[in-house]
A and B are shown apart, each in its own frame.
Chain A
Amino acid sequence: MIETSPQMSATSLQDRDNGSMLVVRDLKKRIGAQEILCGVDLNVAHGETLAIIGRSGGGKSVLLKHLVGLMQPDAGEIWIEGQNITRLNERQLGAIRQKIGILFQGAALFDSMTVAENIAFPLREAGEREPKVLREKVREILDVVELEGQEEKMPVSLSGGMKKRVGLARSIIRRPKCVLYDEPTSGLDPVVSDSINRLIRRLQERFGMTSIVVTHDMKSAFDVADHIAYLHEGQIYFYGTPIQLQQTSDPILQDFLLGRSAEERGSKVES
């Protein structure tokens, strides 16, 4: 059985620092009295899909927001393509954020704009004003996310899955090098979840984008990821391939994979 321990994973991460898309070093964050991240180390290679899994409230979304500078760490460093972003101010982060797209958990569509206006927003902000060009690019990206003909709808009239697709279209229209997904399948039925997973895979294959998927949906993680990192008590407890994770005998990981609470494990041992 192949299993990657936290110590082993830290060593292997260090070996892969050079030429990485994203490197996280000893990241710490405290919110109020609670320590959310207690020294996270992570390394994501160009073109790789990494799934970050962990229990609800375990700090996965907080970690993701740090990766694009939406939150500032108390300690530690985040490097994106060789540039340390932890010292940058909000305006300096603008250039970094053009390399990274993010799909928020609730899609975060601008509710005063139509689908087309939402998707065209990053292009307009980048200076593109030609309506024909904008229309064409919006149509093209809507084809990619399989939402043809929905341009004039308002976000309020979209289903959860459609909102996520529009959010994804908006985040990739400028072809970022890396896309961060915050719980892309949460609140969706299994069929729509599967289509979102396929979409993530397709984007990675078609555009070569690096993807970081935060999820507690194990099917989603196994479907899309090249590597999986398990965030436990504010640290990366496990880092390895999906096969390594499936073959693990670690009780904490087993509990998470099987969806088993501590009480259930205790009662099984007693019996």
Chain B
Amino acid sequence: MIARLFNALGAPLLRLFQYLGELVLLAADTFRSIFTHKLRWKLFLNQIVEIGLLSQLVVVTTGAFTGAVFSAQTFFQFNKIGMGSATGAVVSVAICRELGPVLTALMVAGRVGAAMSAEIGTMKVTEQIDALRALAVYPIDYLVVPRALAMMVSMPLLVAECIAVGIAAGYFIAISLLEINGTYYMANMVRWTRNRDIIMGLSKAFCFGILIVFISCQKGLSAREGAVGVGRATTEAVVNASLAVLICNFFLTMLLNIIYPAGYQ
């Protein structure tokens, strides 16, 4: 029975390890290139616009409505035990440590990860990547490095923006609709939110950005079989990046909580 189990799991496990190996090799090649080759500034700035600037609306909307609804739900529960004014502290800490980075990463995986995978995948199946190689341009330097660096810069800024907008929206809902005392709300929020909560959120943002960019670029670079292949690569990039964000979030939370423990200490 054990042999049959191994037989059944063998091929998918091998594929998984091969995929993880390809991701690690791509990341290693990219970091080597970042430190040893000249950056193409124009491509890097284009990607900053694509990833950072053009994601503003999505990130702000996500942050605002998440902050608002979380504030309302927290108040509904806490108010029953007379702790309505603690809403601000819960909303702030939760958005900084978890909701901000995770929701921003999921939105960026959907918007930017899909675009990266589709663009690189189309270049692959139309021989444009072979053309780059034939013109003595290493595709990692030209396609992956500017995207990876732009993602590493943009993601923490996008998460910071999401956190700020989320907290502001939560405050606005608490004061205007839920009629919580603004002074108590603010005092509790400032008292319970520490720098380490913000650092934890931004650290997660950096890690999620790296995950999204390598998963999306790897899927694009390995696309095959024409339009169907590009479509499949794009879907897999978004699904894999989203799953990777959610799974890694758990491990990052456990790890970072040792360095930046939660609570008032």
Q: Contact check: which of A91, A94, A100, A108 meets B131 at CB < 8 Å?
A: A108
Looking at the assembled complex, report how far the CB atom of B46 sits from the nearest CB atom of chain A, in whole angstroms.
10
Contact B128 A70 (CB under 8 A): no
Contact A111 B133 (CB under 8 A): no
Contact B138 A90 (CB under 8 A): yes
Q: Contact check: which of A90, A91, A97 meets B135 at CB < 8 Å?
A: A97
Looking at the assembled complex, report how far the CB atom of A138 sits from the nearest CB atom of chain B, in whole angstroms.
15
In the assembly, what is the distance between CA of A197 and CA of B138, in Å?
A: 31
Looking at the assembled complex, report how far the CB atom of B89 sits from the nearest CB atom of chain A, in whole angstroms.
48
Contact B136 A97 (CB under 8 A): yes
B179 within 8 A of A: no
A238 within 8 A of B: no
Q: List 14 A-B contacts (CB under 8 A).
A: A69-B133, A91-B138, A93-B133, A94-B136, A97-B133, A97-B134, A102-B134, A108-B127, A108-B128, A110-B128, A111-B126, A122-B135, A125-B135, A125-B137
Contacts of B131 in A (CB 8 A): 102, 104, 108-110
Looking at the assembled complex, report how far the CB atom of A36 sits from the nearest CB atom of chain B, in whole angstroms.
16
Q: Which of B123, B128, B138 has its CB near the most chain A CB atoms (within 10 A)? A: B128
Looking at the assembled complex, report how far the CB atom of A211 sits from the nearest CB atom of chain B, in whole angstroms.
15
Looking at the assembled complex, report how far the CB atom of A214 sits from the nearest CB atom of chain B, in whole angstroms.
14
B98 within 8 A of A: no
A121 within 8 A of B: yes
Contact A108 B130 (CB under 8 A): yes
A190 within 8 A of B: no
Q: Contact check: which of A68, A90, A106, A170 meets B127 at CB < 8 Å?
A: A106
A241 within 8 A of B: no
Q: Contact check: which of A93, A98, A104 meets B130 at CB < 8 Å?
A: A104
A65 within 8 A of B: yes
- CB-CB contacts below 8 Å: A70-111 with B: 70, 90-91, 93-95, 97-98, 100-102, 104-106, 108-111
17 additional A-B pairs beyond A94-B138, A108-B130, beta carbons within 8 Å, are A69-B133, A70-B134, A90-B133, A93-B136, A97-B133, A97-B136, A100-B134, A102-B131, A104-B134, A106-B127, A109-B131, A110-B123, A111-B126, A111-B128, A121-B135, A122-B136, A125-B135
Question: For the side of the interface on A, what is the size category?
Answer: 20 to 34
Contacts of A171 in B (CB 8 A): 134-135
- B residues near A (Cβ < 8 Å) are 123, 126-128, 130-131, 133-138
- CB-CB contacts below 8 Å: A106-132 with B: 106, 108-111, 121-122, 125
Closest partner residue, chain A, to B37 (CB atom): A91
Contact B136 A104 (CB under 8 A): no
In the assembly, what is the distance between CA of A65 and CA of B130, in Å?
A: 9
Q: A90-B138, A91-B138, A94-B138 are in contact. Are A104 and B133 (CB under 8 A)?
A: no
In the assembly, what is the distance between CA of A181 and CA of B138, in Å?
A: 21
Contact A70 B136 (CB under 8 A): no
Looking at the assembled complex, report how far the CB atom of B69 sits from the nearest CB atom of chain A, in whole angstroms.
39
In the assembly, what is the distance between CA of A67 and CA of B23, in Å?
A: 28
Contact B137 A104 (CB under 8 A): no
Contacts of B135 in A (CB 8 A): 97, 121-122, 125, 170-171
In the assembly, what is the distance between CA of A108 and CA of B131, in Å?
A: 6
Contacts of A100 in B (CB 8 A): 134
Contacts of B127 in A (CB 8 A): 104-106, 108
In the assembly, what is the distance between CA of A39 and CA of B196, in Å?
A: 64
Contact B137 A70 (CB under 8 A): no
Looking at the assembled complex, report how far the CB atom of B2 sits from the nearest CB atom of chain A, in whole angstroms.
32
In the assembly, what is the distance between CA of A90 and CA of B133, in Å?
A: 8
- CB-CB contacts below 8 Å: A133-184 with B: 170-171
Contact B130 A70 (CB under 8 A): yes
Looking at the assembled complex, report how far the CB atom of B32 sits from the nearest CB atom of chain A, in whole angstroms.
10
Contacts of A108 in B (CB 8 A): 126-128, 130-131
Closest partner residue, chain B, to A71 (CB atom): B130
Q: Contact check: which of B126, B128, B134, B138 meets A68 at CB < 8 Å?
A: B134
Looking at the assembled complex, report how far the CB atom of A155 sits from the nearest CB atom of chain B, in whole angstroms.
10
Looking at the assembled complex, report how far the CB atom of B91 sits from the nearest CB atom of chain A, in whole angstroms.
42
Looking at the assembled complex, report how far the CB atom of A158 sits from the nearest CB atom of chain B, in whole angstroms.
14
Contacts of B138 in A (CB 8 A): 90-91, 94
In the assembly, what is the distance between CA of A95 and CA of B136, in Å?
A: 7
Closest partner residue, chain B, to A94 (CB atom): B136
Closest partner residue, chain B, to A110 (CB atom): B128
Looking at the assembled complex, report how far the CB atom of A27 sits from the nearest CB atom of chain B, in whole angstroms.
18
Contact A98 B136 (CB under 8 A): yes
Closest partner residue, chain A, to B130 (CB atom): A70
In the assembly, what is the distance between CA of A254 and CA of B128, in Å?
A: 37
Contact bitstring A5-40, B, C-beta under 8 A = 1, else 0: 000000000000000000000000000000000000
In the assembly, what is the distance between CA of A70 and CA of B130, in Å?
A: 7
Looking at the assembled complex, report how far the CB atom of B138 sits from the nearest CB atom of chain A, in whole angstroms.
6
In the assembly, what is the distance between CA of A70 and CA of B136, in Å?
A: 11
Looking at the assembled complex, report how far the CB atom of A141 sits from the nearest CB atom of chain B, in whole angstroms.
14
